[in-house]
Structure 1
Amino acid sequence: MTDQREVVIVRWPGQSPSAAAGPAALLASYHLRTEAEKGAAVADVDGLPDRYRAEILDPGTAFADAVVLVALSGDTAVGCLVVTAPVGGRSEVKRLWTDPAFRGRGIASGLVGAALAHAAEIGVSTVRLSVWKWRAGAIALYERLGFTVVPSWDARDQLVCMERAV
């Protein structure tokens, strides 16, 4: 049985010492799953590319100019999302991940909603994101939340680029 406690979304790092680990474990799960989906499965974090390992080992440095949102169930981090600092009136949503045991509860929608609210607070006009084309559920979520597919700004094959006005 999964935990049915209320989930709250906070900016990381937060005030709770028990949530100090914040997004590290979630980012590890995200990157390990993504590498497996790309056909490049690795056994553990040590096998990830340096740039992804750096996010996991020190998210505070990796996302120093960004806002990291964490969904908490009690003191347990169950979801995360990164909103980059604005450039030219745009921010980007990255690393949306919900612990599989907590999916289906609106956590991802809540994280994206909090990201959009943050973007509006800081005067961003557009939020964009990229998602692997095989993540049909994520694409459907983004479409339900008003994102539309736009021409790609990233040369990686199989990446879908989306954006929406704030």
Structure 2
Amino acid sequence: MVAENPEHSRRYIQRFRDLAAGGTDLGGEARMIDAMVGRGARILDAGCGTGRVGGFLLEAGHEVVGVDLDPELIAVARQEHPRGEWIVGDLAELDVRGEFDLVFSAGNVMTFVAPGTRVEILRRLGGCLREGGRVAVGFGADRGYDFDAFLADAATAGLAPELLLSTWDLRPFTPASDFLVAILAR
């Protein structure tokens, strides 16, 4: 995406700064993730961007490691949330130290990755979990990744759904949902 549109990162950064300045609630994903773990949990933000969600979780008392392919977004995360560990890296080659209580991928990340890498990414996300840990993935419909295909890929990667929602604010998933938040476990 950055190769096709060199201004993408700067526009993305500015868009979320403008939303925050305008009072838009940008903490929905983080509040749900925070509620899923005990205080002081170790959390992996897969596709962390500028650390918008991970930064909230740091402030809530968690240990956060964020990974994103875009060095410009990681630079903002490091500047704005220096207590986190922010890594430039490809989720398809994810290699982070230690295990996590929760791994999440918000912001339609799974729709931006190369389709041929999806199962491997899900396998690697699941492989980062401590015993009893979970993976939370959220993305919208009509983005080139059908929900049923995602769930099949998750199963191939050894992950099973524990809960399917249609929003990060805990609304039930239905066949008519235009967004999926999948809580998965090994």
Please, what TM-score do these two structures have when normalized by structure 2? 0.42
Which structure's relative contact order is higher, taking Cα pairs within 8 Å and 6+ residues apart?
Answer: 1
